[in-house]
Amino acid sequence: MGNQANLSIGSVAKRTGVTASALHFYEAKGLISSERDASNQRRYHPTVIRRVSIIKAAQKLGLSLENIKNAFASLPSNRTPDQKDWQKLSMAWQEELDRRIASLQRLSVLMNSCIGCGCLSMDKCPLYNQDDHLSQYGPGPVLLQQKEDQP
Ligand code: FES
């Protein structure tokens, strides 16, 4: 196989379990790249398979394509992640996953106060913030953040 960009899009799709249209999409988003052969067909470097595998794993964790792209960009010379890089990325993503689980658990507790309430108060309900009027107090879910900041 060598170290050349010689994989067709069909071959990459078959080996990764990702559709050709998804590969086009990843490429348009800058997550993978290809070269063109003499007949202007896409040809992929074999390392694209590892890259797509990491994209799929990260998506299963619920990470956005932007987040994945930033992670790839953080690697030295924007190369395909090796095993050591994967350890680093997966540890960072584990922390992100833990943060999100904790946030969902807090949300679940807050949701209990909404069940049977129905006030949908813009000032009091942590789940409702019509027109994002709380944005003046900072980015993100301000009421939830306030709860997180409390000991
Ligand atoms: S609906 Fe009343 S606190 Fe959320």
Residue pLDDT, tens place only, 104-145 = 888 888 788 788 888 877 777 877 765 565 566 666 666 566
pTM: 0.69
Pocket test for ligand 1, best of 108, 113, 147 (most atoms within 8 A of CB): 113
101 with 61: CB under 8 angstroms?
no
Question: Looking at the predicted structure, is the pLDDT value of residue 24 above 90?
Answer: yes
Give pLDDT, residue 29: 93
Three-state DSSP at 18 gives coil
Give pLDDT, residue 109: 82
Residue with tokens 């949908």: 120
At 2, the pLDDT band (50, 70, 90 cuts) reads: low
Question: Looking at the predicted structure, is the pLDDT value of residue 49 above 60?
Answer: yes
Q: Measure the CA–CA gap between 70 and 78, rounded to whole angstroms.
A: 10
Question: Measured from the CA of 120, which atom of ligand 1 is nearest?
Answer: 1
Q: Measure the CA–CA gap between 81 and 9, rounded to whole angstroms.
A: 21
Q: Picking from 64-68, 80-84, 108-112, which range would have the lowest pLDDT averaged per residue?
A: 108-112
Question: Measured from the CA of 126, which atom of ligand 1 is nearest?
Answer: 4
Domain spans, the chain: 1-81
Q: Measure the CA–CA gap between 99 and 94, rounded to whole angstroms.
A: 9
Nearest CA to ligand 1 atom 2: 119
Pocket test for ligand 1, best of 108, 109, 127, 130 (most atoms within 8 A of CB): 127
Tens digit of each residue's pLDDT (9 = 90 or more) over 28-44 = 999 999 999 999 999 99
Residue partners of 78: CB distance under 8 A and separation at least 6? 72
84 phi-psi bin (left φ>0, alpha ψ -120 to 50, beta other): alpha
68 with 55: CB under 8 angstroms?
yes
CATH code given to domain 1-81: 1.10.1660.10
CB atoms within 10 A of CB 120: 12
β-bridge mates for residue 43, sequence order: 35
In single-letter form, the type of residue at position 58 comes to A
101 Cα: distance to centroid of ligand 1 (angstroms): 22
CB within 6 Å of ligand 1 — which residues? 113-114, 117-121, 124-125, 127
